[in-house]
Every structure is written in C-alpha cells, then in structure tokens.
Amino acid sequence: MGKVVELQYNLHFVQKPTSLESDYDSEKSMARLRELRKGFKAIQDLELLNLFKSEINFELSSNHFQNAQIGSLGEFVVDYDSPHSKDVILRRKCDSGEEVALSALLGPPNYEKDLIFVRDVFMKVCVKKPALSSILQFDCRAYQETDKTSQFEINNAYYLRSPASLGSSIYRGPLFSELDIKLQKAFKEYLIDKGIGGNLTNFLLHYLHTREQKQYMNWLKTGEAFLSKNESLNQHS
C-alpha cells in the first residue's frame, strides 16, 4: 500500500469529534474565561481596597488644621447643618430687632498660596429689619489672609423687596465694584457691625474645612466597607 493511500486509509478510520464534544469543549473554554475574568476583577477590587485603606490611614495620621485659628460664632447660632449638604446656615437676632441669616459653603481649592485653608468660603448674608418684608442681601467671599488672620470682601449687594424676589430677574442694583469706594467701605462696616468679622470668618474657614474632612472620611469608609464586602464574597465563591 502506497504512503498516500495508507494515510488516506488511516484518516478514514480516525473518529471525528461529535457536536456534543465540541459543545463541551466550548463550554470549558467559556468557563475558563469566566474564571480568568473573575480572578482579574478580584485583583482589581483588592488593589482598589488597598488604596482606600492607605488613604484612610494617611488622613487619620494627618492633622491638616492643627495650627489654624478656630475663631468663634459670636452671637450667631448654627441653624442648619446636615452631614449630607455642602452648606451651613447661621442666624442671629440683633438688639435692634434686625435678623441676620448667613449661608456659607466652600469654594473650589486654590493651591497657589501656601496656606492652611486651600478653599475660600462663599457667603450669602441677608439682613431683615423688623416689620419690613424687604431684605438686604450681600454676596461675600471669606479667605485666609495669613496663618492667623482671615478677611472677607463683598462681591454684590442687593436690595430685595421681599424674600420672593430672591429667584426673580428684577433689577437688584449696580455691580458692587462700580459703587463709590466710600460706599463700598460703608457696606463692609455695616456687615462688620452685624457680626461678620474676623472671628466669624476664622470660624467658618476652620469649621467648613474640618466638616468637609469628616465628610471625606465618611466617604472613604463607605467605599472601604463596600469593597471589603466584595472581597469577602470573592473569597467564599
């Protein structure tokens, strides 16, 4: 028998794989692929979990605001402070009967200056006189001036006929920067007289930065708990 004929003869009797065997091999390949993907995901989750733990340890070992001036509320009281919100609201009632409401939140970070507080505080200050519905509203920015002091500036001053005018498009007045310098200074002295001074701006800078730090730590711990649960499930699966 020639070599070619012999080879053809042998091939004729080689058993070809059935469709069931092909399906079985395909399922095995898919199972291996799923295991590889699962293992890769577990490694990714573990790496992310370790990063969360490292960041938590770093934050716990750091005291970012150790040498900062704490300041004081003065005659203001905290009227609203939710751990899930960005802003806080302070209120005070003056001896004259005027009511002062202040909402404050942190602005974006600025790393250009080497200061303890990298964010400014944006404030809205509303002053209401008794028996009147009209309101004076000031948009202000408080910022750290030196390691021991802070300052604030007025960006806008509005006269509103009523609280309902807060969201309307009616004319509220000229740009604050276009006002006479003496009038700008007089407005600032007016706010200082209402308790918006260095002690309060020091307090707001320290309080809001510390508050944000706590919110960040809670976020890290929530993420760590979620990833730890996933890691536990991976180990038992």
Helix, strand, coil tally for the chain in percent (to 5): 50, 20, 30
> Which tens digit of pLDDT belongs to each residue from 159-208?
888 766 655 667 777 889 999 999 999 999 999 999 999 999 999 999 99
Query: Which sequence spans correspond to the domains of the chain?
Result: 77-216
User: Buried (b) or exposed (e) across 20-43, using 16+ Cβ within 10 A?
Assistant: eeeeeeeeeeeeeeeeeeeeeebe
Contact 141, 105 (CB under 8 A): no
State pTM to two decimals: 0.75
> Which tens digit of pLDDT belongs to each residue from 87-135?
999 999 999 899 999 999 999 998 887 888 999 999 999 999 998 888 9
84/218 Cα distance (integer angstroms): 10
| C-alpha distance across the termini of the chain, in Å | 59
CA 104 to chain centre: 14
Task: Please give the CATH number for the structural domain made up of 77-216.
Answer: 3.10.280.10
For 100: left if phi > 0, alpha if psi spans -120 to 50, otherwise beta; the answer is beta
Q: Looking at residue 14, what is its pLDDT?
A: 47
139/113 Cα distance (integer angstroms): 23
Write out the two tokens for 56.
């938590």
CA 94 to chain centre: 33
Residue 90: partners with Cβ closer than 8 Å, 6 or more residues away: 73, 76, 77, 78, 79, 101, 102, 103, 104
Write out the two tokens for 210.
């510390």
107/121 Cα distance (integer angstroms): 6
Q: Looking at residue 64, what is its pLDDT?
A: 78
